[in-house]
């Protein structure tokens, strides 16, 4: 039976953990990556193409920024293979205290590449057949294999070796398939869940450093995620980073990515100049937080979409002063 969201089962033991014990648990090392801890399961998403194209803006938030009289940057990107109408997110040159910054220019590879996460994935798949991908988040120590179990709670307390592990693994939602529009990845955060998360503490493992995206400056510097699956390495441009309750159902693998992205953008603490259309694939990273108190149904989520073939993209970010806060 499917668990609607696997993280609630963890809340009963949501306590800070001594860094010394974490170091012991992280002692499982293999040649692929020094950041690696325990290991887990697999199922790999592939490209999916859609005939009808639907585009989004970030809704009320961007409209308010635009109507304030501040200059607006309208980022327009046309895919080499799809030159349909474009209506992308609007990012103000200044919004609140954050100024626009071209954090990174990236180009999607036109053919599959080896090396990096892809090679690491292949190496770890020899050790655990459940391995389906490799996730790297620049600016953090998130550099792990991604696994998939038969159920969402299979790896809650297991490592990559399928033995007990407090820290666990990074695992894909049980419903993710090769044709999923939304690839959802989960990871524990036992140590960095406050309203003012820290950056760069090595004791924050698995998704413990994902909350670095709470901060605008960090988001500006690291707007692209690297995720490799059986098709090779790929870049994913972030379009939302937000806190949410479980009323926002962001874990649908067959979601309408346009409506899902629109809602995510309205909740995002930062405005990213990244558009989403119906043929895109989305990557969703989800972890626990206590930013809004002790309630167990809080999540911190980062969402990105796959950089399109032949696309050249400049990612800008500003503060979203009117983001939709979770209702606790």
Among the residue ranges 10-14, 249-253, 278-282, 292-296, the one predicted with the least confidence is 10-14
Q: What digits encode the pLDDT tens for the residues 93-117? A: 333 333 333 334 443 333 334 457 9
pLDDT band, residue 90 (cuts 50/70/90): low
Q: Which residue has the higher pLDDT, 314 or 69?
A: 314
Indicate the average pLDDT of the chain: 74
Q: Does domain 7-27+52-114+174-319 match CATH 3.30.70.920?
A: no
Per domain, the residue ranges of the chain are 7-27+52-114+174-319
Q: Which residue has the higher pLDDT, 49 or 208?
A: 208
Among the residue ranges 113-122, 305-314, 317-326, the one predicted with the least confidence is 113-122
Residue 113 has a pLDDT of 42
Q: Which residue has the higher pLDDT, 256 or 104?
A: 256
Residues assigned a catalytic role: 188, 288
pLDDT band, residue 5 (cuts 50/70/90): low
Q: What digits encode the pLDDT tens for the residues 278-315? A: 999 999 999 999 999 998 899 999 999 999 999 988 89
What mean pLDDT comes out for the span 74-91? 36
Residue 258 has a pLDDT of 95
Residue 8 has a pLDDT of 44
Residue 252 has a pLDDT of 84
Q: What digits encode the pLDDT tens for the residues 34-47? A: 232 223 333 333 33
Q: Is the pLDDT assigned to residue 269 strictly greater than 90?
A: yes
Which residues make Cβ contacts (< 8 Å) with residue 323, sequence separation at least 6?
Answer: 61, 242, 266, 267, 268, 269
What mean pLDDT comes out for the span 307-325? 93
How many other β-carbons are positioned within 10 Å of the β-carbon of residue 77?
16
Cα separation, 318 vs 289, whole angstroms = 23
């Amino acid at each position: 039976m499917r668990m609607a969201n696997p993280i609630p089962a963890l809340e009963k033991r949501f306590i800070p953990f001594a860094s010394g014990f974490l170091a012991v648990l992280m002692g499982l090392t293999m040649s692929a990556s020094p950041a690696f801890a325990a290991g887990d399961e697999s199922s790999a998403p592939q490209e999916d193409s859609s005939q009808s194209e639907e585009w989004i803006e970030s809704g009320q938030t961007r409209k308010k920024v635009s109507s304030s009289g501040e200059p607006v940057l309208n980022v327009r990107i046309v895919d080499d293979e799809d030159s349909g109408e474009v209506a992308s997110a609007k990012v103000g040159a200044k919004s609140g205290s954050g100024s626009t910054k071209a954090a990174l220019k990236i180009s999607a590879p036109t053919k599959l590449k080896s090396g990096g996460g892809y090679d690491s994935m292949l190496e770890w798949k020899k050790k655990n057949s459940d391995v389906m991908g490799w996730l790297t988040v620049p600016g953090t120590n998130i550099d792990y294999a991604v696994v998939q179990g038969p159920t969402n709670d299979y790896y809650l307390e297991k490592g990559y070796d399928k033995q007990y592990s407090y820290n666990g693994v990074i695992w894909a939602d049980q419903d993710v398939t090769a044709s999923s529009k939304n690839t959802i990845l989960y990871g524990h955060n036992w140590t960095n869940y406050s309203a003012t998360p820290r950056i760069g503490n090595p004791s924050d493992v698995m998704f413990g450093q994902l909350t670095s995206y709470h901060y605008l400056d960090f988001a500006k510097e690291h707007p692209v995620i690297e995720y490799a699956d059986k098709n090779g390495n790929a870049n994913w441009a972030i379009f939302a980073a937000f806190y949410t309750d479980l009323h926002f159902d962001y874990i649908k693998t067959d979601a309408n990515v346009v409506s899902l992205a629109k809602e995510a953008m309205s909740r995002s603490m930062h405005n990213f100049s990244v558009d989403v259309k119906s043929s895109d694939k989305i990557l969703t990273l989800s972890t626990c937080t206590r930013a809004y108190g002790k309630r167990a149904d809080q999540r911190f989520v980062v969402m990105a979409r796959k950089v399109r073939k032949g696309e050249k993209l400049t990612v800008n970010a500003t503060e979203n002063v009117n983001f939709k806060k979770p209702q606790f």
